[in-house]
Structure 1
Amino acid sequence: MSDLDQARIQACIEAWVDPWLKQSLGEAHAVKSVSVEGGSVRVELELPYVCAQDHEAIRSALTDAVHADCGDAPLEIRIAQTVAAHGGQNKLPGLAGVRNIIAIASGKGGVGKSTTTTNLALALKEQGARVGVLDADIYGPSQGMMLGVPAGTRPKTAEEKYFLPVESLGIQVMSMSFLVDEDTPMVWRGPMVSGALQQLLNQTRWDDLDYLLIDMPPGTGDIQLTLSQRVPVSGAVVVTTPQDIALLDARKGIEMFRKVDIPVLGVIENMSTHICSNCGHEESIFGSGGGDRLARDYDCELLGQMPLALAIREQADNGKPSVVADPEGPHAKRYLEIATRLSVRLALRAGQASRIPNISIFGD
């Protein structure tokens, strides 16, 4: 095969549009090398987001595109994925062992935020990322139970000043529930809660995480303020239901993040529809289109919609969330798609931020 053929093949590969990024591999700087050896082509790709479950589909689609334009030479396509560290607000110093911190928030309780956090963490892991979860809901921690951590588990310590996160289902997790008895209520005022959050963050030795998901308490109180002032958050995800009252509170949550200069990466709409387990009838019992309108109003992405399903609740309560309990099921597949969209959104936001200058407009 001639050098001209190799150049043509490389041009074809660089022009191929990534289905998740919605831009060509050349624009994404994802093509690391294209070489011709003994009549076959070897391609090295490095994607800026995680999508391990989709690698085979990407190989197949890219092979078809090359064969359609450049002949049917055998292709060996190797796909790597690298998650870059994206800075947070106000140039706060990063957290050791963590590349990106993502806050999972809701304006009100009862919208499924913690269940979403758990399944999203597991989905990111399945897509090839190293993931941790910090349970910042000091008053009502639930991540230990949802991730199947046995009651009474205590974190190990290092150097007499660091906690080592508990690992379960491949996720590193730290929670106030690991430090107190299960039935002990946290009857604390705001400053004590803020201090506990800072200790959990700064005294936990996270091990080489691509993403640390912080399961926030509902509302816009002390924990949220502490997070914005002390922690470099790469972005936030807001969980809501289509119900008008939930959307009203979700708007307040988004406005809060905007005021403290934390970008909202997207919205996840929970309980979008209910599917009757007897007859299969699907009904939008909490309304419809709310999450989509919210995302449009604030120029962010609707990352996904999850149904109101008994299985999702039961699996989380049993310590085996949907992504691991039924990995081939429809709920797990939706969470995997949401995880990839989140990873893509963060990668694209970082790229756009590096190209767009700040513009200030002053009145006369």
Structure 2
Amino acid sequence: MADVTAATIPANAPEHCPGPESSTAGKASSCEGCPNQTICATQARGPDPDLPIISERLSGAHKILVLSGKGGVGKSTFASVLSQGLAQSSEVGLVDVDICGPSVPKLLGCENEQVHQSSNGWSPVYVQDGLSVMSVGFMLPSDSESVVWRGPRKTGMIKQFLRDVDWGQLDYMVFDTPPGTSDEHLAVVQLLSGISGAVLVTTPQEVALQDVRKEIDFCRKAKVPIIGVVENMSGFVCPGCQGESRIFYPSTGGAKKMCEELRVPLLGSIPLDPRIGRACDFGSSFLDTCADSPAATAYLDIIAQIKKIVNHQT
């Protein structure tokens, strides 16, 4: 796991930040007062020689980022179900770039698998027909082992996932990212070319929507197309009577109101079903085990919209 240093957008960057790769980085008038001015002014610049390799290896795949400004909104669950849904008719690679909190192996029931080396690079873990996965969780000695890495090492790990993994010919690549807008997100944006777009996951309450607004701003600054917003846990559906109750009250109008204000698509709302959590704990496919549930119907409708949007781009 070699350390690979990559340029990152400075924290607390001014509105007119020239970017860390610019020849005026750290020297422009807008850089005055930025806490990372010295770093930007002195860092090495030039094209990354690995970018053409990554671009060629991942050519042909629609690249979808799953983002959430807030933790605990079900982003990793959505990324896993999205990947399973897409894999029903396509070849899909799921990349877990949540380096410090890799939960995808547990969600897909493959936490005891290991990554193997082949003549073509690392071999991803195959979960089902059409679905392969890569996560740092496969490389840890135990589930309780912490990853205490600084930004450059996390960026280097993500680069290895893209450059050194033998993904084969994929139709879709789904990226499960950590909360926020930090090193992991910047690494993915800088290393990938032709990102199809981002799906932003939120819950209805204002405390989650506040962070999603920041995520939307990040996408616009980083020039990542926004596929749409998914409102997760929008209500509780009783498995017995199918009655629905509000758990997270949308005091400011929920995702629908936010999407109208910021002019981004709302892909749909997914009700809270306790069987989703059970499927995640046991690594089973919720779409298979509870195909008749309202939540599964909502998932499939959203997945169909995402496929339509990204395929329309080609």
Query: TM-score normalised by the shorter chain: which range applies?
Result: 0.7 to 0.9
Q: Distance in 1 between matches of 2:258 and 2:118?
A: 44
Report the alpha carbon displacement of residue 347 of structure 1 after superposing the two structures with TM: 2.9
CA RMSD of aligned residues (A): 1.9
Distance 1:188 1:215, change over 3 A: same
Q: Is the 8 A contact 1:134 1:174 kept in 2?
A: yes
Matched residue, 2:70: 108
CA-to-aligned-CA distance 1:264-300 (integer Å, 9 cap, x gap): 1011110101234576542222124411123223333
Q: Distance in 2 between matches of 1:281 and 1:343?
A: 30
Q: Is the 8 A contact 1:270 1:305 kept in 2?
A: yes
Structure 1 residue 205 corresponds to structure 2 residue 166? yes
Structure 1 residue 275 corresponds to structure 2 residue 208? no
Report the alpha carbon displacement of residue 346 of structure 1 after superposing the two structures with TM: 1.7
Q: Distance in 2 between matches of 1:166 and 1:293?
A: 40
Structure 1 residue 330 corresponds to structure 2 residue 294? yes
Q: Distance in 1 between matches of 2:164 and 2:258?
A: 36
Question: Which consecutive unaligned segments of at least 5 residues does structure 2 have?
Answer: 1-50
User: Secondary structure of 1:306's partner?
Assistant: strand
Q: Is the 8 A contact 2:111 2:138 kept in 1?
A: no
Q: Distance in 1 between matches of 2:163 and 2:140?
A: 19
Report the alpha carbon displacement of residue 311 of structure 1 after superposing the two structures with TM: 0.6
Q: Distance in 1 between matches of 2:128 and 2:261?
A: 37
1:344 aligned to 301, 308, 311, which one? 308
Structure 1 residue 154 corresponds to structure 2 residue 118? no
Structure 1 residue 186 corresponds to structure 2 residue 167? no
Structure 1 residue 297 corresponds to structure 2 residue 296? no
Map 1:169-248; keep pairs closer than 5 Å.
169-170=128-129, 171-182=131-142, 183-232=144-193, 233-248=195-210
Matched residue, 2:11: none
User: Secondary structure of 2:152's partner?
Assistant: helix
Q: Distance in 1 between matches of 2:56 and 2:272?
A: 36
User: Secondary structure of 2:82's partner?
Assistant: helix
Q: Distance in 1 between matches of 2:168 and 2:289?
A: 25
Q: Distance in 2 between matches of 1:142 and 1:278?
A: 29
Q: Distance in 1 between matches of 2:259 and 2:128?
A: 31
Q: TM-score, normalised by structure 2?
A: 0.77
Matched residue, 1:163: 122
User: Secondary structure of 1:108's partner?
Assistant: coil
User: Secondary structure of 1:245's partner?
Assistant: helix
User: Secondary structure of 2:147's partner?
Assistant: coil
Q: TM-score, normalised by structure 1?
A: 0.66
Q: Is the 8 A contact 1:147 1:169 kept in 2?
A: no
Matched residue, 1:356: none
Q: Distance in 1 between matches of 2:256 and 2:208?
A: 13
Q: Distance in 2 between matches of 1:343 and 1:275?
A: 26
Q: Distance in 2 between matches of 1:167 and 1:304?
A: 29
Report the alpha carbon displacement of residue 96 of structure 1 after superposing the two structures with TM: 1.3
Larger deviation, residues 318-327 vs 105-114: 318-327
Larger deviation, residues 192-201 vs 275-284: 275-284
Q: Is the 8 A contact 2:62 2:310 kept in 1?
A: no
User: Secondary structure of 1:293's partner?
Assistant: helix
Q: Is the 8 A contact 1:124 1:336 kept in 2?
A: no
Structure 1 residue 254 corresponds to structure 2 residue 216? yes
Q: Distance in 1 between matches of 2:284 and 2:240?
A: 24
Report the alpha carbon displacement of residue 263 of structure 1 after superposing the two structures with TM: 0.4
User: How many percent of aligned residue pairs carry the same amino acid?
Assistant: 37
CA-to-aligned-CA distance 1:119-163 (integer Å, 9 cap, x gap): 11111122x221110000000101111111142x2122122x711
Q: Is the 8 A contact 1:122 1:324 kept in 2?
A: no
Q: Is the 8 A contact 2:272 2:295 kept in 1?
A: no
Report the alpha carbon displacement of residue 226 of structure 1 after superposing the two structures with TM: 1.2
Matched residue, 1:125: 87
Q: Distance in 1 between matches of 2:164 and 2:248?
A: 41
